[in-house]
Structure 1
Amino acid sequence: MRVYIGCGGYTNEDWAAPGLIYEGVRKDDYLATYSAHFDAAELNSSFYAIPGLKAFEGMARKSGGRVRFAVKVNRVFTHDRAPESADFDRMLQSPEPLREAGVMGPYLAQFPYSFHRTADNRRYLALLTERFAGHELAVELRHASWDRPEVREAMAELGVIWVSPDYPPVGGMPEPQVHVTGDVAYLRLHGRNRETWWEGGSAAERHDYLYTRAEMDEWAEKIALVAGDLSELYVFFQNTTRGHALKNVPMLREALSARGVPVHAPDPQESGRLL
């Protein structure tokens, strides 16, 4: 199993604080710096506006082929749920430079908590997966009504990746387990800040959480149990606020290595900056 570990987005301005990896780094050089520390990135900007070919060309070039990109599908597919053919065309064609460079990871469809398991929503999800057929598609379903074996069995039949999440313990959402629906798995670690998950005014507030070493050990144990079933695992830390993810990534790498799960740790240009 090849493990790819990265963060939700790479343009995190919090990381320009003293002692963190973007201190003194120009914004144009953020991705090059990021690629010295991580081998995967989850692209958030595509949720708000689908980048063009040149933007994706720039990502492939600046990352030097060292980063796998998971591309979040635009909100028209998951929140508005009214995509037109042109939206599908642009979403599927624009990342072509990443494919040509061999650094394209799965697409990520992140559905909101309000997307319950109803007949209409099941039909919509079937339509979406059909339109993304031939491409790796990871689906995050935040409402607990989807957290059922039969849902994952259907996703396995369709070749869709179930996104295994770690949410705050607030109830009503899927349990924190690694579920396998194919030979690729996808894990999103959102943090466990229960005070701000519903009430937080921004994503930064909701993800303001630093995992403990014991919590990273828990996830390493869960990953090790399914390692033999997978060819690839993507792990993305969403708790980028105040640089929390920069501290947690090394913890997870160490915990996985201690359990015999090989992890690639890029050599940072400036030793120690990630920690």
Structure 2
Amino acid sequence: MRVYIGCGGFSNEDWAAPGLLYEGVRKDDYLSTYAAHFDAVELNSSFYGIPGLKAFEGMVRRSGAQTRFAVKLNKVFTHERAPTDADFDRMLQSPEPLREAGVMGPYLAQFPYSFHRTAENRKYLQGLAERFAGHELAVELRGADWDLPEVRSGMAERGLIWVSPDYPPAGGLPEPQLHATGDVGYLRLHGRNAGSWWEGQSAAERHDYRYNRAEMDEWAQKIALVQGDLSELYIFFENTTKGHALKNIPMLREALNAHGVPVATPDPAARAVDPGRLL
């Protein structure tokens, strides 16, 4: 099993604080700096606006084509749920530079908690699976009403990847378990800030949590149990607030290696990217 570990987004401005990854780094160099340390990233900007071909070409260049990109579906697919044919075309075609460079990970459909398991929503999800057939599509369903074996079985039949989450113990959310619906797994670690999950005014507040070593060891044990079922596993830390994820990733790498799941730590010197270099 090849494990890819990264963060939810790379343009985190609070990482420019003293002692963190982007201290003294120009914003234009954030991605090249990130790519020197992590082998995967979850692209958040595509949720707000689908980047064009040139934007994706720039991502490949700045990352040195050495970091996998999981591309989040635009909100028109998951929150507004009224995509046009043009939206599908752009979402499917624009990341082509990532595919050509061999760094395209799964698409991510992050549905809101309000997307409950109704007949209408099940039909919508079926239609989305059909339109993305032939592409890896990971689906995060935040309501506990979806957290059922029969749902995962149906997703497996349709080639969809169940997003395994780690949410706070706040009620109404799926359990923190790692499930496989195919040979690619997808884990999102949101932190366990129960006090801010429902009441938080921003994603930064909700994700203001740093895991301890025992919690990372707990996840390493769960991952070790499924490594024979998966060829690839993507792990993304969403607790990027205050650089929490930057501290937790080394913890998880260490725990995984201790549990017999080999994970390499990228060598920043070897992976350093010249942002001006053309591929």
Q: What's the TM-score, normalizing by structure 1?
A: 0.97
Report the AA paired with residue 229 of structure 2: D
Give 1:228's aligned residue: 228
Letter in 1 for 2:51: P
**Alignment-derived partner of residue 65 in structure 1:** 65
Query: How many angstroms apart in 2 are the aligned matches of 1:94 and 1:154?
Result: 29
* Counterpart secondary structure, 2:60: helix
Residue 85 of structure 1 and its aligned partner are, at CA, apart by: 0.3
Residues in 2 aligned to 1:91 and 1:264: alpha-carbon distance in whole angstroms: 32
Partner of 2:274: none
Kindly provide the amino acid, as one letter, of the partner of residue 18 in structure 1. P
Partner of 1:273: none
The match for 1:188 is 188
Shift of 1:65: 1.3
Q: Summarize the alignment of residues 89-238 of structure 1 with structure 2, pairs less than 5 Å apart.
A: 89-238=89-238
Question: Map of 1:51-90 to 2, 5 A cutoff?
Answer: 51-90=51-90
Q: CA deviation at 1:264?
A: 2.1
Name the counterpart of 1:266.
266
**Alpha-carbon distance between aligned partners in 2 of 1:127 and 1:264, rounded to the nearest angstrom:** 38
Could you list the runs of 4 or more consecutive aligned residues of structure 1 that deviate by over 2 angstroms after TM superposition?
Answer: none
Question: Distance between the aligned counterparts of 1:264 and 1:119, measured in 2?
Answer: 44
Q: How far did 1:265 drift?
A: 1.3
**Structure 1: distance between partners of 2:177 and 2:95:** 30
Deviations for 1:211-264, whole angstroms, at most 9, x for unmatched residues? 000000000000000001100000000000000000000000000000110112
In structure 2, what is the Cα distance between the partners aligned to 1:90 and 1:115?
Answer: 24
CA distance in 1, matches of 2:116, 2:269: 45
| Distance of 1:36 and 1:131 partners within structure 2 | 34
Deviations 1:103-151 (A, max 9, x none): 0000000000000000000000000110000000000000010000000
The equivalent of 1:14 in structure 2 is 14
Show the counterpart of 1:47.
Answer: 47
Shift of 1:174: 0.4
Q: Give the corresponding residue for 2:4.
A: 4
How far does residue 71 in structure 1 lie from its aligned partner after superposition?
0.1
SS of match in other structure, 1:23 = coil
Q: d(CA) in 2 for partners of 1:102 and 1:222?
A: 29
After superposition, the C-alpha distances for 1:77-105 in whole angstroms (9 at most, x for unaligned) are 00000001000000000000000000000
> What corresponds to 2:246 in structure 1?
246
Q: Matched residue pairs, number?
A: 270
For 2:228, the aligned partner's letter is G
- Once residues 124 and 106 of structure 1 are traced to their aligned partners in structure 2, the CA distance between those partners, rounded to angstroms, is 19
Q: Secondary structure at the match of 1:204?
A: helix
TM-score by length of 2: 0.96
Structure 1: which 5+ runs fail to align? 271-275
Q: Distance in 2 between matches of 1:123 and 1:11?
A: 35
What letter is aligned with 1:53?
L
Taking the aligned partners of 1:153 and 1:264, their CA distance within structure 2 comes to 32
* Secondary structure at 2:228 match in 1: helix
Aligned-pair CA distance for 1:42: 0.1
